[in-house]
Chains A and B, each alone.
Chain A
Amino acid sequence: MKFSKKRISTVGALVTSLALMTSACGGSGTIGSSSSGGGNSGGKVTVTFLPKNLGNPYFDTSDKGGKEAVSEFGGTFQEVGPDAASPDAQVPFINTAAQQGVKALVISANDPKAIGSALTQARSAGTKVVTFDSDTEPQYRDLFVNQASAEGIAKVEVDMVTKLIKDSGEVAILSAAANATNQNAWIKLMKADLAKNHPNVKLVDTVYGNDDDQTSFDKTAALLQSHPNLKGIISPTTVGIAAAARYISTSKSKGKVVVTGLGTPNQMRKYVKDGTVQEFALWNPADLGYLAAYAGKALADKKITGKKGDTFTAGKLGKYTVGADNTVLLGDPFVFDKSNIDKFKF
């Protein structure tokens, strides 16, 4: 047999794949220019929100705020995200946004560096990048919208826990993912604050719940088992504090181990009312998302470039000025407790 069928098929396949490649390469222009067609028609600004992960009530609220802002200024809103808050999971979504020619990408980063190359590529394709809640390294984004200063957030949590355990005893931190930029920044400041101002309070452990409810639940159980003298748990993540409160409220440690940190009123209401949690702090995530969306629009419309001193108006929140490091601050953290928790519905 001179021509085995396999050889013919192989040649045929090569020809076909060459045809495929040529057709796929047929798009106009090079990578550098923004692609035509698709997501934008006329002057409409497409804004894509890419939180750390979907299924997180905190981001559900922030993205809702963003959606409200986008419909206010007549843009198109999209929300995408991975299921698990891992550093590499956001890359495909950034790529897709670049492909779709999205005008502004609003992202809460799972890691300060890992998505850098993808963001750089998106920006060279014409997308403006705004980070919110959790930052990347400054060179990868156009603007960072921070909920409050990191020092302010760290301080309020340390103040709450030390007050509740009467300034002496063992505490532990239940954080989100090990790489998360924001939590790590706050933890660093909390450690410094504790060392400097609260000598009788000892931080015995830092564990990571990965912003996954089950993991945080199990980690709380493990903490209580390995540190029988633990008096307080700080959880600077809304998923972690909800899981920790849920575990402690049905265990023998209720009332003996204090739970505090950053939480949403809706998730914490039950535990504040039953006494597991005395107080906790947060800001309004909806405002954060709202502000970030307006920042994205201002960048996309080329009204600002994101450098220090730029000002823009964010709808009902008013005027904001960009500070150092291309950062905009929303405001100060707010402390929730039994007396005011019913006033808030997020």
Chain B
Amino acid sequence: MSETSTQREPSSVDTGTAPIVHPSSRSPMNRVLTTVVRSREIAIALALLLVIAATTVTTPSFLFSSNSWRDLLLTPAILILLAVGEAVVVITRNVDLSVGSTLAITAYLTGRLFVDQPGIPIVVVFLAGIVVGGALGLVNGLLVALGRVPALVITLGTLYIYRGLVLTWAGSNRINASDMPDGFLGLGTKTILSIPVLTIIAVVVLAVVGYFLYTSRSGRDMYAIGSDPEAAKLYGLKVRQRVVGAFVLSGALAGLSGVLYAARYGTISSGAGVGIELQAVGAVVIGGVAIFGGSGTVWGAAIGAVLLVTINRALPILGIQDFWQQAVVGALILGAIVLDRVLSARRSRKLIEARDAS
């Protein structure tokens, strides 16, 4: 969970003085409930349910027509992948603004592979997208880790460079849906047990990355690096390797989402994914990942992504022109970081009071 509990067992070292923090006087059940209730992830999940409920009340077909149940689950799939990758990068106190351009490159690559190599197995195309995306992420990671330049600037530059590359490569050509095999396009709309295949892919990736981030050594290292890079370095953590790894992961997921994009939309032009990095960062911030790193979970980022996309889809139905989407995203981002700040200020004040009181 994103919040450290304010009640902690006393250390086992006997200092001979009274513990600074007293053992919790509440039952374990109480503590679990409090953690759950206070958790950011649950909060935005609730917000999501609220949005869906409110919209369905106005227009039942938002949830209950067969097309819309599919669309509800399908549309966020791409943003979930991007948000997961972005979350890992942000946790290490960096940011990756080039994901939209990476998506465009791999989406166009997907189309090109199908056109130039007819009969190519779909699995190969998926792998190609992931590898290419990972390579682009590797460039970012190396520049950030070795050049010791802020990730903001590097990924701003690569945003331009990668977008320019795909624009030059594609020119004004466009891959049409008719150029790609039906089996591949079918993935875009196929459902298993009424859950779209693309969503299943996104959820599986989310589960794997979440598990890895939480349990493995390198995953925990990322949190440490984000909390305090200097301390992490002094402690002996392989900071450079982890940072590079984070960017490779972000790039690979962006690459995978490019392939999914091609399957979902069928038509790929060089303008694919423009501006989506903003939504990815927004989803991550709304999902409780602190922008200065060190805390947050990919679950939160994923729910944040779903929330963003659902709000976007709900707006026109609620009578608000979808032109206001971006304003809503901006307001949510601002609200989220202000909320984070207020909460953390309150928390540190409580800790100081607890310390002073003893």
Contact = CB atoms under 8 A, between A and B. Distances in A.
Instruction: Consider the complex of A and B and state whether they touch directly, i.e. have CB atoms less than 8 Å apart.
Output: yes
B68 A225 contact: yes
A213 interface: yes
B317 A84 contact: no
Interface string A223-239: 00110100000000000
Contact of B61 (A57, A214, A228): A228
Interface of A: 54-57, 60, 83-84, 212-214, 217, 221-222, 225-226, 228, 243, 246, 250-252, 267, 270
B172 A222 contact: no
Contact of B270 (A83, A217, A226, A270): A83
Chain A interface main SS type: helix
A84 B322 contact: no
Contact of B267 (A56, A246, A251): A246
Interface in B59-84: 61, 66-68, 71
Chain B interface main SS type: helix
Contact of A222 (B173, B272, B316): B316
B189 interface: yes
A228 B60 CA distance: 12
Contacts of B265: 214, 217
A56 B270 CA distance: 12
A225 B61 contact: yes
Nearest to A79: B172
B329 to A, nearest CB: 17
A55 B267 contact: no
B269 interface: yes
Interface of B: 61, 66-68, 71, 167, 171-174, 176-178, 189, 265-267, 269-272, 316-317, 322
Given A55-B174, A57-B174, A213-B267, 18 more contacts: A55-B171, A83-B270, A83-B271, A84-B271, A212-B271, A213-B174, A213-B269, A214-B265, A214-B269, A217-B267, A222-B316, A225-B67, A225-B68, A226-B316, A228-B61, A246-B267, A252-B67, A270-B178
Contacts of A226: 316-317
Task: State the 6 A-B residue pairs at the shortest beta-carbon distance, nearest first.
Answer: A55-B172, A54-B172, A213-B267, A270-B178, A222-B316, A246-B177
Given A251-B67, A252-B66, A83 B167 contact: yes
Contacts of B316: 222, 226
A33 to B, nearest CB: 35
Given A55-B269, A212-B271, A214-B267, A222 B174 contact: no
Contacts of B271: 83-84, 212, 214
**A214, A217, A226: most-surrounded residue (chain B CB, <10 A):** A214
30 contacts: A54-B171, A54-B172, A55-B172, A55-B173, A55-B269, A83-B167, A83-B172, A83-B270, A83-B271, A84-B271, A213-B267, A213-B269, A214-B267, A214-B269, A217-B265, A217-B267, A221-B71, A222-B316, A222-B322, A225-B61, A225-B67, A225-B68, A225-B317, A226-B317, A228-B61, A243-B267, A246-B177, A252-B66, A267-B176, A270-B178
